[in-house]
Amino acid sequence: MSIVDENMLKFIDALKELHIIKFDAEFCRSIGLRKQNLQNIRNGRNHFTVEHVRMTCIEYEVNINWIFGFSEKLFLGDDIIPKKYQKPTTNSYTNSE
Indicate the SS3 state at residue 19. coil
Residues whose CB falls within 8 Å of the CB of residue 67, separated by 6 or more in sequence, listed in order = 4, 7, 8, 11, 53, 56, 57
The confidence score (pLDDT) of residue 77 equals 76
Domain boundaries, the chain: 3-84
C-alpha radius of gyration, the chain, whole number: 16
CATH of 3-84, one of 2.40.50, 3.30.2010, 1.10.260, 1.20.1740: 1.10.260
Is the pLDDT at 90 greater than 60? The verdict is no
For residue 8, give the nearest of 43, 38, 30 by alpha carbon. 38
pTM, two decimals, is 0.81
Asked if residue 29 lies in contact with residue 44, where contact means CB atoms within 8 angstroms, the answer is no
Band of residue 92 on the pLDDT scale cut at 50, 70, 90: very low
- Which carries the bigger pLDDT value, residue 18 or residue 84? 18
What type of residue is 66? W
The confidence score (pLDDT) of residue 79 equals 61
For residue 11, give the nearest of 43, 45, 26 by alpha carbon. 26
Is the pLDDT at 14 greater than 70? The verdict is yes
The confidence score (pLDDT) of residue 20 equals 93
- What tens digit of pLDDT does each residue of 28-80 get? 999 999 999 999 999 999 999 999 999 999 999 999 999 999 999 998 876 66
DSSP code of residue 83: G
Asked if residue 62 lies in contact with residue 11, where contact means CB atoms within 8 angstroms, the answer is yes
